[in-house]
Structure 1
Amino acid sequence: MSKAERLIEDMRKNPQGIRFSDAAYVCDVLFGEPRQRSSSHRVYRTPWSGDPRVNIQNDHGMAKAYQVRQIVKAVDRMAEVE
């Protein structure tokens, strides 16, 4: 199991306990470089139309739980498409 796969499983189990750096790593692996990068936010493009963004925020070193759930939802959607 790769590091990204292990982190995704951790995201499914406990979205409140995910570090921003881990969420950013998963998004970098899945979606490539962020469209926008700042110290507190990263915005990633997704390969489908509609709402083609995943946004994550650094909240004192942790990713926000609702954004972690959005990452998991995007991972599931990517699995459906492939």
Structure 2
Amino acid sequence: MSRLEKLLQKAIRSPQNLLFHEFCTLCTYFGMEKRGQSGSHVIYKRKVAPKFALSLQDDDGKAKPYQVREFLSKIEELGLYDFREGE
């Protein structure tokens, strides 16, 4: 199992335990770039089709669970990853 697959499995199984830097790694793998920061929010944008953006927050070193679920839902919805194959 690759590092990406391990991170995805961690995000799926326990989004509340995903570290913020791990979440940023997942965003980068799926073609997103850090485009700025506004206060506590970090903006990641995907510039190639399908385009989308997410606003992420570092919560004492952890990713916010609802943002992880939103990210996973979006990459599946856009066909960037098939979670049924990953199991």
Which residue of the partner structure matches residue 72 of structure 2? 72
Deviation at 1:48, TM superposition (A): 3.0
Larger radius of gyration: 2
- Structure 1 or 2: more helix by fraction: 1
Deviation at 1:62, TM superposition (A): 0.4
Q: Deviations over 1:52-71 (max 9, x none)?
A: 21221101000000001011
Deviation at 1:8, TM superposition (A): 1.0
Deviation at 1:33, TM superposition (A): 2.0
Q: Which has the higher contact order (CA 8 A, sep 6+)?
A: 1
Deviation at 1:37, TM superposition (A): 4.1
Which residue of the partner structure matches residue 22 of structure 1? 22
Whether the aligned pair in 2 keeps the contact of 1:31 and 1:44 (CA below 8 Å) is no
5 Å-filtered alignment, 1:1-82, equals 1-37=1-37, 40-46=40-46, 47-48=49-50, 52-79=52-79
For 1:16 and 1:32, how far apart are their aligned partners in 2? 21
- How many percent identity over aligned positions? 29
Q: How many residues align?
A: 79
Q: Residues 20 and 38 from structure 1, CA distance in 2 versus in 1: closer, same or farther, beyond 3 angstroms? A: farther
For 1:22 and 1:37, how far apart are their aligned partners in 2? 18
For 1:20 and 1:58, how far apart are their aligned partners in 2? 6
For 1:2 and 1:76, how far apart are their aligned partners in 2? 19
